[in-house]
Structure 1
Amino acid sequence: MEFDFLSPVDDELLEEISHLNAQCIGPRMRLHTERSGFPDMEGVNVAIFGIRETRRALRKTEAPVFYQLRSQLYRLYPGNWGLKLADLGDIEAGATVEDTYFAVQNLVESLIKHDVIPIILGGSQDLVYAQYRAYDKLDQMVNLVNIDRKFDLGDAEKMISNESYVGKIVIDKPYNLFNYTTVGYQTYFNSQEEIELVERLFFEAYRLGEVTSDLSLMEPIFRSANLVGLDLGSIDSASANTDYFRSPNGFNGREICALARYAGISDKVSSFGIYEFNDMLGNLANTLISQIIWYFIEGVNYRTNENTISAKKEFIRYQVPIDDEVLVFFKSPVSGRWWIEIPFLLNVNTKLKKHTLLPCSEEDYLEACNQVIPERWYKAKRKNEV
């Protein structure tokens, strides 16, 4: 596995690494360097790369440089991890934006096929579109979770931008998207038209206050995700010590790291992107982003691999009759986590399996016992029927 469109990490970072404790992340990471070339990917579990592309951002910025972020990340100490990490360098902006998308799509697709989880350091968030298109040939329906203050649906008839890429995902073929979830949206940043459209499409949306009141409710949301995008603008300005994103409200440092860990610990998440990075972010913001990456990797390390057939055979099965429905719940005896079954419709041509298990909470099961149908189950079932 090698990609000639990737530029190596800066030589000055190698000098910094040489002065770090040997137990830090940097000295233990396989790096793409000018001197040694592309790293050996045998056994690598997680690979980081940057994308120096911002041309489709509505607010124009220079292409990001990830030197300071890498410097902060390399000096962190890993947990008790059994993972092998690699830094593949950066994808430079192509001759056209579509060329950049093509490079991102091919790299992410190749990494996923080799069981390597990519952590993508973005410029503008329209790059989520390229991250999503990497799943075109992977024969599966896709659940996209976006940590964002906006829905980014936009006008799909216009040229794609960092505020309209979700609209393109919805309407462009091939149709892989099963569900789109926005975590932490703020109503005043979204038009009522977009809010109503999210409802009509049976997508899921969780307001900032709803999420921060009990972060644990988001764990099942990330457990059902295949790819996750994080807009740095979802973080409040004080936590990043920058007014670039111009919002006093948002997730604080502890909350955004907790969400990143939920994304990492999900057995299904196979790619994780951090977007809207720019060179106006200072040292504190770079430190926070490096810790977001750390917590995602920490989550990956503690995955329980309950998405396998053998693990599911051990699940405890519960049937709950509600009106004309019989809801089927499953509980893992290992982790104590819950799922609910979504029946597959034979006349619908999708990439869904015969029965799809939707992650849920114990509260969903208890509410079902009180004859309340879980909203996530209802929306998933309706999307299957449409």
Structure 2
Amino acid sequence: MEFDFLSPVSDDLRDEITQLNQQTIGAQLKLHTERSGVPDLEGVNVAIFGVNENRRALKANAVPSFTELRSQFYRLFPGNWGLRLADLGDIQHGDTVEDTYYAVQTLVEGLIKQDIIPIILGGGQDLMYAQYRAYDKLDQMVNLVNIDRKFDLGDADKDISNESYVGKIVVNQPYNLFNYTAVGYQTYFNSQEEIELMERLFFEAYRLGEVTSNIAHMEPIFRNANLVGLDLGSIDSASANSDYFGSPNGFNGREICALARYAGISDKVSSFGIYEYQNELGKLANTLAAQILWYFIEGVNYRTNENTISAKKEFIKYQVPIDDDILVFFKSPVSGRWWIEIPFLTNVNTKLKRHTLLPCSEEDYLEACNQVIPERWYKAKRKNEV
């Protein structure tokens, strides 16, 4: 894999690591430095890299630097992890934004092919378009989950920005997107036109209050995701001790870290991005961002790998008749998690075969027993039919 477009972490950070407790993350991870170059990725499970790009952000300021975020992350102690971590440094912004996109796409694709989960630290969230494009050659339809206060559908006829990249994902070829889910949207930040478009496309959207009232209900959403993006603007200003994003409402620190852990524990999530980082964020916001990283990696460490054929053979099967349908549920005897089967149509794109089991909750099963069809099952079935 080519790493020519990666720059090392700063010498100050390298020197800072030498002063840390030897049990901290910074003292244990593999680091890209000027002196040693890009580390050997043999045995690495998770690789972090920054992207110094925000030219398509509508509130663009100075080119983002992730030095303070890294400093806070390196100081943390790992859990009882059996993972190897690497920090690959930063992708500097290219001559054009498209050059940066290409570098991100190439690096993410290469890491995924090596079974390494990339964590992208980015400026404008339009970089998630490049994260998504990394799946173009991986021969799969993908589910995208976005933790954000806005849908970011925008106007697909205009140039891509951090508020319209999802629209570009929907309309631009190749068409790899199977489902898009917005977690934590706030209605007053989204036009009714966008809300209606989400419905017409059978996408999923969960309002902030709905998520925070029972955050555990989001676990099945992330269990079905392939890539996840997190907009730091989804965090309330008080939790980040910063008014940069200008919203008093949003996720608090515990909630955003719980969502990051759900993303990490998902067997399917193969890339994770944290976006809308700005240099104006203070120490507390950088500490929270570092803890978001920590919780995602904590989740990765506790994956149960229930996507394998052998694991699914052990699932307990339940059949629930509703009207003219028979809903088929499966429960893992290991984790206690639930899935619902979506009927596969043979005349539809064969890439969808891997989506025949849809993660759900025990509550979905209990409601089905009371003759209530889960809305997520209905949307997924309709998406399979069109």
- Normalising by structure 2, what TM-score? 0.99
1:60 CA drift (Å):
2.0
Partner of 1:11 in structure 2? 11
Kept in 2, the 8 Å contact 1:57–1:126? The answer is yes
Unaligned 5+ runs, structure 2: none
Partner of 1:120 in structure 2? 120
1:354 CA drift (Å):
6.5
Partner of 1:74 in structure 2? 74
Partner of 1:136 in structure 2? 136
Partner of 1:202 in structure 2? 202
1:93 CA drift (Å):
0.3
**Alpha-carbon distance between aligned partners in 2 of 1:305 and 1:61, rounded to the nearest angstrom:** 41
Partner of 1:367 in structure 2? 367
**Alpha-carbon distance between aligned partners in 2 of 1:198 and 1:92, rounded to the nearest angstrom:** 34
Q: 1:24 to 1:260 in 2, by over 3 A?
A: same
- Normalising by structure 1, what TM-score? 0.99
1:62 CA drift (Å):
1.3
Post-superposition CA distance 1:69-111 (Å, at most 9, x none): 0000001000000000000000000111111000000100000
**Alpha-carbon distance between aligned partners in 1 of 2:345 and 2:61, rounded to the nearest angstrom:** 47
SS of aligned partner of 1:343? coil
Q: 1:73 to 1:342 in 2, by over 3 A?
A: same
1:229 CA drift (Å):
0.2
| Residue pairs, 1:329-368, within 5 angstroms | 329-353=329-353, 356-368=356-368
1:176 aligned to 2:176? yes
SS of aligned partner of 1:38? coil
1:376 CA drift (Å):
0.3
Partner of 1:265 in structure 2? 265
Aligned partner of 2:191: which letter? Answer: S
**Alpha-carbon distance between aligned partners in 1 of 2:59 and 2:291, rounded to the nearest angstrom:** 26
Aligned partner of 1:331: which letter? Answer: K
Partner of 1:241 in structure 2? 241
Post-superposition CA distance 1:21-70 (Å, at most 9, x none): 00000010000110000101000000000000001111121110011000
SS of aligned partner of 2:129? helix
Q: 1:114 to 1:178 in 2, by over 3 A?
A: same
Aligned partner of 2:234: which letter? Answer: S
Give the 4+ runs in structure 1 shifted more than 2 A. none
SS of aligned partner of 1:205? strand
SS of aligned partner of 1:351? helix
SS of aligned partner of 2:261? helix
Kept in 2, the 8 Å contact 1:49–1:118? The answer is yes
Q: 1:354 to 1:346 in 2, by over 3 A?
A: farther
Partner of 2:275 in structure 1? 275
Post-superposition CA distance 1:154-200 (Å, at most 9, x none): 00010000000000000111111010000000000000110011011
SS of aligned partner of 1:380? helix
Kept in 2, the 8 Å contact 1:343–1:355? The answer is no
Post-superposition CA distance 1:248-294 (Å, at most 9, x none): 00000010001000000000000000000010000000000000000
1:355 CA drift (Å):
6.1
Partner of 2:289 in structure 1? 289
Kept in 2, the 8 Å contact 1:141–1:350? The answer is no
**Alpha-carbon distance between aligned partners in 2 of 1:141 and 1:316, rounded to the nearest angstrom:** 27
| Residue pairs, 1:82-93, within 5 angstroms | 82-93=82-93
Aligned partner of 2:169: which letter? Answer: I
Aligned partner of 1:225: which letter? Answer: A
The two structures, once aligned, show a CA RMSD in angstroms of: 0.8
SS of aligned partner of 1:353? helix
Post-superposition CA distance 1:111-149 (Å, at most 9, x none): 001000001000100000000000011111100000000
1:2 CA drift (Å):
4.0
**Alpha-carbon distance between aligned partners in 2 of 1:185 and 1:225, rounded to the nearest angstrom:** 18
Aligned partner of 1:320: which letter? Answer: V
**Alpha-carbon distance between aligned partners in 2 of 1:60 and 1:19, rounded to the nearest angstrom:** 34
Aligned partner of 2:29: which letter? Answer: M
Aligned partner of 2:38: which letter? Answer: F
Q: How many residues align?
A: 386
